[in-house]
Amino acid sequence: MIAAAARNGGNGTARPLDPALVRRAARAALDEDLGERGDVTGELALPAARHVTAVIVARAELVQAGLPVAREVFALLDPAIEFEPAREDGSRLGRGATVASLRGAARPILAGERTALNFLMRMSGIATATAAAVEEIAGSGTRILDTRKTAPGLRVLDKYAVSCGGGCNHRMGLHDAVLIKGTHRAAGCSIAEAVREARLRGHEPGRITVEVRDLAELAEAIAAGAARVLLDNMDVAAVRSAVRAAAGRVTLEASGGLRPGKLREMAETGVDFLSLGWLTHSAPAADLALEVRAWSS
């Protein structure tokens, strides 16, 4: 199974999700939907003894992501529900393909339907968009990177989905890597001082990034000892010049307004990474549905 953790080291290789985190996310979403009274429609429309067989299907081509969370949604509602994935996360599905089959009591299956689909649709949408971005720049040597522009409370799941689509995870949050941004400098912090302080505090050079806007700031970041530089909102010509100026001395990441369909030319500048906030804040949800195929009392 393709899976991912909070951070995969920037290599596009996925790691398993923490079951406790999955449980918390599923529980919070169910609490939001069910409130204190539960599924009032299901309880009046369906006998307690009613059982169903159902399938989750893809209604369009997509890259699948979110199975661990969908499974947990139904398990929290009724541990007796049988949830059988047809494929692993990271799989490419055609229209009409089965994502998973379910068997069990009708009430909890239908009570969990929308919550499970919400996770699957969001996460598969992110994975599908990421896969499109990765495919667009295939062969260039440049890799696709995510950002912190994620849904509040769902960052690990959003980044998991990026990995399922073949992208690389950046820092999980403010706590696990140094990124010296223009806003820090606007508040009176110099590149040299910030990099020096980061290294004195034991941060690995590879986890220290400086955001720059032009070649002069790039030179300053390299001279300060940063190992990574983020080229902020530079056009293709400027990024190409930055790649030549850096001459392989630092890892370069281009960022700002990038999205699938407009990536190839930027990748061919020779930059190491393209970071796309679009993947986790604007990728369209994938089209999935739960269909009841049979029932018995």
Which residues belong to the active site? 114, 149, 181, 211, 232
Residue 39 tokens read as 């599924």
297 and 47 in contact (C-beta within 8 Å)?
yes
Q: Sort residue 135 into left (φ over 0), alpha (ψ -120 to 50) or beta.
A: alpha
Residue 120 and residue 202: Cα distance in Å, rounded?
39
DSSP for 161-196, please give it. HHHHTT-B---SSTTSSEEE-HHHHHTT--HHHHHH
> Crossing angle for the helix pair 191-200 and 215-224, nearest 10 degrees?
30
Residue 261, CA atoms < 13 Å, CB-side half-sphere: 6
CB contact set of 272 (below 8 Å; sequence gap of 6+): 141, 142, 143, 251, 252, 253
Residue 102, helix vs strand vs coil: strand
Residue 56, helix vs strand vs coil: strand
Residue 214 and residue 8: Cα distance in Å, rounded?
29
273 and 253 in contact (C-beta within 8 Å)?
yes
Q: Sort residue 61 into left (φ over 0), alpha (ψ -120 to 50) or beta.
A: beta
